[in-house]
Amino acid sequence: MTDISTAADPELLQTVVVAKDPIGNLGGAWMSVPAEQEATAAAGLVDWQLYFLGRHGVMGDVDADVVTAAAYVFPAEYLRQEWRAARSKLTPAEGLERYVAVCHGWGRETLADFAAADRLSVLAAKVIDAADVAGLPLFAGWRAVPVPADSAARCAHLMQVLREHRGACHGVALVALGMKPLIAILCNQGGEQNAQEYGWQPPYPVVTAADQERRNRVEELTDDLVASAYAGLTVAERGEFVDLLSAAAVHCFGE
C-alpha cells in the first residue's frame, strides 16, 4: 500500500467522499433483492441467516466470536445464534457459494447492458489491489474470492469487494475512537429502526451531541483509512472512476 497523507492530498480524499455512496449502493443493492430471499429459503434458512453465513463465510469455518470481530454492528449473542443456526444447515463455504451467486446474478441482470462495466472493473480492481489488508479480515477474505469472468457479474463482484473495504475500515475507525456500534447506528439515519433490524433490543440510549460529534470523527477517519487504496489510481483515473461509478448508479437505480 502506498503511504500517503490525505491531509496533504485533498483531491484524493475528495475521490473517497464522492465514491462512498455509489459504492455502498452498487455493492449492497443485491443483498435485499427477491433472489436473496429465495436463496435463503432454498437453503432452509430464514431472515438474515444466509447473509451471516454467506457474507462472513469468506473467513472459513470459524467460531462465532471470529465473525463478531469483523461484523461489529451486530450484537454478539444475536450473531452467535444466527451463525450457529445457519451453520447447522450449510458449511460457510456452501453459504458463500450461494450468497455470491446472488451478487453475480444481480450483476448479470442489472449491468449486462452497462457499456462501461469492463472499464469500471479495471479501475475498481486497481483500488482493491492497492489496499492493505492489515486489520481488515473480512475485506481480505472477499478479495480472495474468485472473480467471475463475465463483464456484468465481475463489475458487481468488485463493487461488493470495495464495499467490504470501506466497511472494514469503518470498523477499525469505530474501535480506534472508542465508539460502540449501537451508538453509531443510533447516530445514523434510520436510528432505532436500524438498530432493531440489526438485532439490538430496546430501550436504546439517548444519543448526545458528543456522540454525534464522535460519529462524525469516525466517518472522517474512515475516509482517511480508505483513501490510501485510491492512491493506486492516477489523478486522471480517479476522476474517471467516480464518473463511471455515478453512471453505473444512474444505470441501475436511475439516481
Q: What angle do CA 61, 176, 199 make, to 5 degrees?
A: 50
Give the position of cell 464495499.
163
Per-residue CA distances from 206 to 73, 187, 195 (Å): 18, 10, 13
Residue 114 DSSP code: -
pLDDT per position as a tens digit, 201-237: 999 999 999 999 999 999 999 999 999 999 999 999 9
Name the least confident of 3-12, 93-102, 163-172: 3-12
pLDDT value at residue 184? 97
pLDDT per position as a tens digit, 49-75: 999 999 999 999 999 999 999 988 999
Q: Which residues of 31-66 are buried (b: 16+ CB within 10 A; e: fewer)?
A: bebeebeebbeebebeebbbbbbbbbbbbeebebee
pTM, two decimals, is: 0.95
pLDDT per position as a tens digit, 8-46: 488 899 999 999 999 999 999 999 999 999 999 999 999
pLDDT per position as a tens digit, 111-147: 999 999 999 999 999 999 999 999 999 999 999 999 9
**Rounded distance between C-alpha atoms, residue 238 and residue 146, angstroms:** 25
* Residue 72 backbone phi and psi in degrees, to 5: -70, -15
**Rounded distance between C-alpha atoms, residue 199 and residue 197, angstroms:** 5
pLDDT over 50 at 87, yes or no? yes
How many other CB atoms are found less than 10 A from the CB of residue 104?
A: 19
What value does the mean pLDDT take over residues 103-107? 98
The band of 4, judged by pLDDT with boundaries at 50, 70 and 90, is very low
pLDDT value at residue 72? 84
Rounded percentage of the chain residues whose pLDDT exceeds 90: 93
**Rounded distance between C-alpha atoms, residue 61 and residue 58, angstroms:** 9
Average pLDDT of the chain is 95
The band of 238, judged by pLDDT with boundaries at 50, 70 and 90, is very high
pLDDT over 70 at 158, yes or no? yes
